[in-house]
Amino acid sequence: MNTQKGFTLVELIVVLVIISLASALVFVSIGGGMLRSEEDRLVIDFVQELTHARSISLARGKTVRFIIDGENRYYHIEGKGHESIPETVQIEAKGLARLDDGLFAVYFFPDGSASGGEIDLWWKEDVINRIKVNRLMGTVEHKEIGQ
């Protein structure tokens, strides 16, 4: 009677193959999630900056401009630091004030209203993040639209 304990070479290879496949699936899942996190972070920051511009206007009682520079790929509240727009993102704007070629602005007024408009951020996966600035209330709304 053979009472040796242990694993055969075939059993060890099967376990290693299963672990390798599971690791590959986890890596692909996490890698895609990290890329998507960068896109989500940009949209969140963009919406927060717009909302912050409105808050500054209300608090200080003066008009504040939120500027988008499509050619140099950045956005910012006038007088504050620039935030970059990744190369993987296309921006389309409707109804924004045009300051120059590729340079647009949303004005937030002390009474809470804004110049309004829509900003679409397009991703490589054909996902559109539409950001609307309401003219009357100056509120900022975000909606993701899949293609």
Q: What is the pLDDT of residues 33-90, one digit of tens each?
A: 555 667 778 888 999 999 999 999 999 999 999 999 988 999 999 988 889 988 888 8
Indicate the residue type of 144: E
Which residue range(s) make up the domain with 76?
37-146
Strand partners, 93: 119
How many angstroms separate the Cα of 35 from the Cα of each of 41, 52, 135, 141?
10, 26, 33, 23
Q: Is residue 28, in this structure, part of any structural domain at all? A: no
CB 119 within 8 A of CB 127: no
Q: Is residue 12, in this structure, part of any structural domain at all? A: no
Indicate the residue type of 39: E
Number of domains forming the structure of the chain: 1
How many angstroms separate the Cα of 72 from the Cα of each of 55, 76, 84, 91, 146?
26, 12, 8, 12, 27
Q: Is residue 111, in this structure, part of any structural domain at all? A: yes
Give the end-to-end CA distance of the chain in Å, rounded to a whole number.
67
Q: Is residue 18, in this structure, part of any structural domain at all? A: no
Q: Is residue 14, in this structure, part of any structural domain at all? A: no
What CATH code is carried by the domain that includes residue 110? Answer: 3.55.40.10
Tokens of 25: 């699936």
Q: Is residue 58, in this structure, part of any structural domain at all? A: yes
State the pLDDT at residue 110.
94
Q: Is residue 63, in this structure, part of any structural domain at all? A: yes
Read off the pTM.
0.73
Q: Is residue 11, in this structure, part of any structural domain at all? A: no
* Averaged pLDDT of the chain: 85
